[in-house]
Amino acid sequence: MAIFQLVTSIFIAITVNTRARAHPSINQSFDVPIENGEFTPLDIAGYLRLSDDIDIELGDKFEGDIVEVSRNSSLWLRKAKKIIVPFIIDEDSGFSPKQIYKILTAMQEIEEVTCIDFKWRENEDDFIFIYSGNGCNSYIGRIKGWQPLSLNIKSACGNSKGVIIHQLMHALGIRHMHNHPSRDNYIIIDENNLRDDAKRNFVKYESDEMNLTYDYYSIMHYGSFAFSKNGHQSVITINEFYQRIIGQRNYLSPGDIKRLRKMYKCNCIEIGQIHC
């Protein structure tokens, strides 16, 4: 796999000094809910939101990080047994080797669990152009032609693999979880704590195209204090256990993987079916 080889070469070529961030332990006396069923991760502790996580996606775009939501978009195209997503990383944006490594490993994590294959653009008309712009944002799905995806190098946006995955998921067609049509059964949006200019970011979607249940663990969920105007929680989970989960940017959840695989019909693509 081209991405894997490049990730490996970059990793060998640079020395990355990292500070271990231990996951907080779960109080064993607290019963772990199973209401997500098949979407409940085996390692719950791995999905706890870290205390120093930043809601970097909360910019001035629609829902914080979505560009031109009304523009027509579609899914990326299939070639043989893969969904091909061409990309370019802007040489003029000044991404460091470490940041490029994180971008490529974010792509790799999506590739490993789906039929999606990110590849360096050759002469494809449709491609993602990853650059350091104003904040962290992306279009939804394939918009055709040159498609910018901003990862600001001076913020957590260009330095967090989980945030990069979040933006790549948008570019693949996945939207936010907190706007899911069934969200009122799982979370409460406290408008008393919301900025007035941000209330439009919490309008529920009319339908969920994948017809899948709500997912607290999703990497596409916003955190407890999203767009808060006063430092109080704006997103409150009905089951308090999940208050420590929502907004995590550690891993794709089982539900995220299921959503992507269903959207791109990976099960039938992988066995070579022409019509899915």
Residue 178, marked binder:
no
Kind plus residue range of the DSSP H or E element containing 169: helix 161-172
Residue 170, marked binder:
yes
Residue 183: strand, helix, or coil:
helix
Residue 176: strand, helix, or coil:
coil
Contacts of residue 153, Cβ cutoff 8 Å, sequence gap at least 6: 93, 94, 95, 96, 99, 132, 159
Residue 85: strand, helix, or coil:
strand
Residue 23, marked binder:
no
Distance (Å) of CA 100 to CA 86, 166, 257: 16, 16, 23
What count of other Cβ atoms lies within 10 Å of the Cβ of residue 82?
Answer: 20
Q: Which phi and psi angles does 244 have, rounded to 5°?
A: -85, -5
Kind plus residue range of the DSSP H or E element containing 137: strand 136-138
Whole-number Å distance between alpha carbons of 204 and 216:
16
How close are the terminal C-alpha atoms of the chain, in Å?
25
Structure tokens at 60: 């001035």
Q: Do 112 and 266 touch, CB atoms closer than 8 A?
A: no
- The residue assigned the tokens 């079916």 is 273
**Which residues carry a binding-site annotation?**
166, 170, 176
Binding site for Zn(2+), by residue number, is 166, 170, 176
